Amino acid sequence: MSVTRWLLACGIVGAALFLAMDWIASFWLYPGYDITSQQVSELSAIGAPSRAFWMTLGFPHAALTFAFAYGVWRASAGRRGVMAIAILLALFALNSFLWGWVAPMHMRGVAFTATDTLHIGFTIVAVVLMVGFMTSGAWIYAGRFRWFSGVVLVAMLVCGGIVGTQVPAIAQGLPTPWMGLVERVSVYAPSLWMAVLALAMMGESKEGRPLPVPPPTPA
């Protein structure tokens, strides 16, 4: 398998690692954590028993995402739109890595501080980057991948918007039933999208032909 295909495969491995991080931290490292009602970010919150585990595995996860972004760049074959996706993915990896170090949230019931406010700022940046690389992919590639990107993007934005309404309840330590499951739709969305893009581009690389693109618009 070529170097480019190995790099693209990192997108699949990274998605699997993130899922494993979430489930291991949720069920084994954070006593009393409720995956159905609590945010993923609470697993890396200041004082959370799972924070050390989460932050440690953040290094290989970021490395895998950067490697995937580089693989997309190598597979772009000079296509500027695909190169733009690679840049957005790299920025997303950087934002995700710094998120927990620079802007960790506090555990439920603890008064908001500057880091919690900054955490929201990093969230906004992440959403902008995710919308950027998903819409770019949907614009560049035609066929089933375009439809898939649209469905994932809409699901991510709707669920993310619902979660956003629950921020005050988290700060006050109030119950947020089902919010954990709703948020995981928006959190898993980019990982799923990257894994599918990786599979598609690995097939593209193996067959030596680009993914389908839309026909030019008649003048």
The model's confidence at residue 4, banded by pLDDT at 50, 70 and 90, is: very high
pTM of this prediction exceeds 0.85:
yes
**In the chain, how many domains are there?**
1
Report yes or no: 64 and 84 within 8 Å, Cβ to Cβ. no
In Å, how far are 72, 101, 207 from 204, measured between CA atoms?
A: 11, 37, 5
**Model pLDDT for residues 36-90, shown as the tens digit of each residue:** 999 999 999 999 999 999 999 999 999 999 999 999 999 998 889 999 999 999 9
* 63 Ramachandran zone, left/alpha/beta (phi>0; psi -120 to 50): alpha
Report yes or no: 137 and 145 within 8 Å, Cβ to Cβ. yes
Confidence at residue 78, expressed as pLDDT on a 0 to 100 scale:
87
Residue 46 lies in a domain: yes
Amino acid 215 reads: P
Residue 35 lies in a domain: yes
**Model pLDDT for residues 100-116, shown as the tens digit of each residue:** 999 999 998 888 899 99
- Give the residue, 218 or 177, on which the prediction is more confident: 177
Residue 184 lies in a domain: yes
Residue 217 lies in a domain: no
Residue 139 lies in a domain: yes
Reduce the secondary structure of 28-92 to three states and give it as a string: HHCCCCCCCCCCHHHHHCECCCCHHHHHHHHHHHHHHHHHHHHHHHHHCCCCHHHHHHHHHHHHH
Q: What domain range is 115 assigned to?
A: 3-207
Residue 69 lies in a domain: yes
Give the three-state DSSP class for 194: helix
**In this prediction, what percent of the chain has a pLDDT beyond 90?**
78
Residue 214 lies in a domain: no
Residue 55 lies in a domain: yes
**In this prediction, what percent of the chain has a pLDDT beyond 70?**
93
